[in-house]
Amino acid sequence: MSGKIAVYDPRGYAPKVAGKRLAQRLQNLEGKTVYLVDCLFDNSEVFMNEMKDWFATHLPSVKTPMIKPRESWVDDPEMRAKVVANGDAAILGVGL
């Protein structure tokens, strides 16, 4: 052990992570309501509008209501409840 020293680990304590399962997937999107969630980043509304248009052209039976949280980066339980109550699936973008 000569020449060796003991030092502390400078890292904090990470939380325990509990695995969570994904929601069951849909068999297909035919006739389903897929919410397009605009996360409010710059130009994401334009992007989501183009995606809505893509669905209207290629998968017209899919309903794609647009929805936005009240603020960027902040959870919006009211909006989430609306998606859960009225939607079959959700596409969120663009940004974390």
Partner 1 sequence: MGLTLELEKAGIPAIAIHTHVFARLAKSVATANGMPTARQAFVPQPLVDKSPSDLRAYIEGTDPISKRPFMQEIIEGLTTPLNDNDLKGLSFDRPKTHLLEPDTEDNLRALFEQNHWTDYLPINLPTEERVEAMLKGTSIPRDRIVGRLSPTAFREDWEFDVEKVAVNAVMAGAKPEYFPVILAMASSGITARNSSTTSFAGIGVVNGPVRKEIGMNTGIGATGPYSHANVTIGRAWNLLSANLQGGSVPDDTYMGTLGNPLSYSFVFAENEEASPWDPMHVRYGFKPTDSTVTVFRGGRYMTSGFGPREHWEGKMLRCLTAADARQSPLLIMDPIVAKLYVDRGFKTSMDLIHWMADNAKLPASEYWNEMWVQTLIHPLAVAGVEPYASNLKAAPDELVKVHQPHEINIVVTGGQTQGAWRIYEGTRFKTSTVSVDAWR
Comparison of 43 and 60: residue with beta carbon closer to partner 1? 43
Phi, psi for residue 83 in degrees, rounded to 5: -65, -45
Q: Specify whether the CB–CB gap between 27 and 88 falls below 8 A.
A: no
Minimum CB separation of residue 43 from partner 1 in Å reads 4
Which residues, at least 6 apart from 26, have a Cβ–Cβ distance to it below 8 Å?
A: 32, 88, 89
Q: Specify whether the CB–CB gap between 66 and 34 falls below 8 A.
A: no
Minimum CB separation of residue 18 from partner 1 in Å reads 5
CA separation for the pair 72, 32 (Å, rounded): 27
Minimum CB separation of residue 30 from partner 1 in Å reads 10
Binding residues for partner 1, per CB under 8 A? 1, 3-29, 34, 37, 39-44, 46-47, 49-51, 53-54, 58, 68-76, 80, 83-84, 87-96
